[in-house]
Amino acid sequence: MKTNKHLIMIIDDSPTNINILASTLKDEFRLTIAKNGQTAFERLEQQLPDLILLDIIMPEMNGFEICRRLKADARTRDIPIIFITAMEEANKKTKGFELGAVDYITRPFHMAEVLARVRTHLSLRQMHLALGEKNRIIRKTLAETSRQLDVLISNLPGIVYRCRFDENWHMEFISDGCRNLTGYEPEHFSAQEGQPYTLMAVPEDRPSIKKDLDHALENHSSFELIYRVRTAPGHDKWFLEQGVGVYDKAGELIGTEGFISDVTEKHNKALALDRENQQLRSKIIQHDRFGDIVGKSPGMLTVYELIRKAAAGDDCTIIYGPSGTGKELVAKEIHKNSKRKQNPFIPINCGAIPESLFESEFFGHKKGAFSGANTDKKGVLDLADGGTLFLDELGEISLSMQVKLLRVMDGNGYIPVGGTELKKPDIRFVCATNRDLQQMVRQKKLREDFFFRIHIIPITLPPLKDRQEDIPLLIEHFLNSYPKNENTPRLTREKITEMANFSWPGNIRQLQNVIYQFLTLGTLEFLDPGSRNISIPQPGSEKEQTLKTAVEEFEKNYISRMLDAHGQKKGKVAEILNMDRKTLFRKLKKYGL
């Protein structure tokens, strides 16, 4: 049964207080009683009261803590709270107000005062709720009006203008849209001594603009001009200007007016499509490879198509795949088939850079920026300017460095360590990782905005075990790339079949190293508990060894195989071998690995 009575919650551990308050309030209000904080919060999960009477002194959880939690919860923070306190507890009254209480009542109770305070604060709450509803309606109305204005503004091509007919076509009026399109304030062009807008066009395009404009105005016809503009930040954009001449009563030209819109994206897409078509027409791709990438399995054909699409534009590309699958090779093919192919390709292993050196390695530093900075040093962003920066092992970048790289990717630039000059490089970013970046986002190890910025064109490389039909092609490729002599051993069909059926946990890198080891030592070794070793005795290869020599040879081969299986990650291998990193590095130097 519905009722219009307000619901009052009494939180007090004293049966006497509860009985007195309940007998006074029950005729006018609905009541719910809680003798401690835990019970109160359980009741609040079921139903929210209109007002709470809260005793301060209670066991386990006192009134102040209950009040603090109520005000911290969005569901309950607006419920008015009246504290119950003793007459002499003035300091507790003050603390109650600081925590968000609206009033207090004192013991012993004066029931007329209790009723008056409860009614007053319920009335104030009703007025607050009514005012909130009115504000909500006003906000909704304003939002709808704003939406309609946004729709109207978004339908404008960009800049509305009117300029007078003089030597430089000075602007008499230009809309605020020029701020977004050009980076300049409207006054930059419309002021009495403002810059002539015609000078915004790049010098190479000005003759054709003048020719087309003069022809249209002489014939009293509308005009449509497409040209490049150098914006305030120094970037080039493509603008479309559509307008008409303005003439006086005598038919004399006095100015022009029209619209200017940014067609850079449309123009770049057209150029990218044209480049892609040219590449498809001019580049004959062999049926079993793409550039230096070997394979014709369905998974690799999908990868080739994504490489073509990535190379046609400048969007961030992320390459996923286990260690040893050829992620850097894919990044190089994207670069080699892009418009940046004549510029640098800079690969960086993010996992190999200590956290303390990240900024210096990426942004460079000025002389004297820190101890040991004896000269100016360019960072990898300087070196990659105009080209492609390949960020391998992207998942190893710290959260703080993600923020700084995100600024660069968004075009906001960077400042070298110890410097003051803002640099804005022109870089195409290609990233790679063998980690689950979405899981890292959920674990708060990767920023969500950084993930979405790099995850525009994803390319996933299949492990070698999922493209077994490519293994014979890869074997042939590696055999042909290795220098041959009369002592070079030969792979039989049976051995190739056995290799094609192997799982290859180290992927292509492991396959390549196994083949090169076979061509050098005549032995096929598969780093897998279920594999066999195939040894081909060579003349003079069998000789007696001391125990120390045999152990060192085994140790060298075992460390080499572990490095291959774990993508040459020395720290990971040291951890698996339960070996100090310095000890591992000494052995690597000793064995020439």
In terms of phi and psi (left: phi > 0; alpha: psi -120 to 50; beta: otherwise), the region of 316 is beta
Q: Select, from the ranges 89-103, 349-363, 526-540, the one with the highest average predicted confidence (pLDDT).
A: 349-363
pLDDT given for residue 199 in this prediction = 76
The residues near 162 (Cβ < 8 Å, ≥ 6 apart) are 171, 172, 173, 174, 246, 255, 256, 257
The residues near 85 (Cβ < 8 Å, ≥ 6 apart) are 56, 92, 93, 96, 104, 105, 106, 107
With cut-offs at 50, 70 and 90, classify the pLDDT of residue 280. low
pLDDT given for residue 406 in this prediction = 92
Delimit the domains of the chain by residue range. 7-131, 158-262, 289-462, 469-591
Q: Is 320 helix (H, G, I), strand (E, B) or coil?
A: strand
Burial of residue 586 (CB within 10 Å: 0-12, 13-18, 19+) is exposed
Q: Which residue has the higher pLDDT, 260 or 280?
A: 260
Angstrom CA distances, 527 to 84, 472, 530, 570, 587, stand at 75, 19, 9, 17, 20
Q: How far apart are CA 167 and CA 189, in angstroms?
A: 15
Q: Do domains 7-131 and 158-262 have the same CATH topology?
A: no
Residue 45 tokens, joined = 């999960």
pLDDT given for residue 155 in this prediction = 57
pLDDT given for residue 531 in this prediction = 46
* Second CATH level (architecture) for the domain 7-131: 3-Layer(aba) Sandwich (3.40)
pLDDT given for residue 190 in this prediction = 78
433, 393 Cβ separation under 8 angstroms: yes
pLDDT given for residue 46 in this prediction = 92
Q: How far apart are CA 42 and CA 38, in angstroms?
A: 6
pLDDT given for residue 1 in this prediction = 47
Res. 102: pLDDT tops 60: yes
326, 461 Cβ separation under 8 angstroms: yes
Res. 397: pLDDT tops 70: yes
With cut-offs at 50, 70 and 90, classify the pLDDT of residue 45. very high
Q: Is 255 helix (H, G, I), strand (E, B) or coil?
A: strand
Query: In terms of Cα–Cα distance, which of 199, 191, 257 is closest to 228?
Result: 199
Q: How far apart are CA 253 and CA 248, in angstroms?
A: 7
pLDDT given for residue 2 in this prediction = 52
Q: How far apart are CA 465 and CA 500, in angstroms?
A: 9
Res. 316: pLDDT tops 60: yes
Please say whether the dihedral angle defined by the alpha carbons of residues 31, 36, 37 and 41, taken in this order, is positive or negative. Answer: negative
Task: Give the lowest-confidence range in 215-219, 478-482, 521-525.
Answer: 521-525
The residues near 234 (Cβ < 8 Å, ≥ 6 apart) are 424
Query: In terms of Cα–Cα distance, which of 506, 496, 503, 493 is closest to 474?
Result: 496
pLDDT, one tens digit per residue, over 124-173 is 988 988 888 898 888 888 888 877 755 664 456 688 888 888 877 888 88
With cut-offs at 50, 70 and 90, classify the pLDDT of residue 278. low
Domain 289-462: state its class: alpha beta
Fold of the CATH domain 158-262: Beta-Lactamase (3.30.450)
Q: How far apart are CA 248 and CA 420, in angstroms?
A: 53
pLDDT given for residue 546 in this prediction = 65
Q: How far apart are CA 355 and CA 54, in angstroms?
A: 52
Task: Tell me the mean pLDDT in the region 515-523.
Answer: 81
Task: Tell me the mean pLDDT in the region 352-368.
Answer: 86
Task: Tell me the mean pLDDT in the region 307-327.
Answer: 92
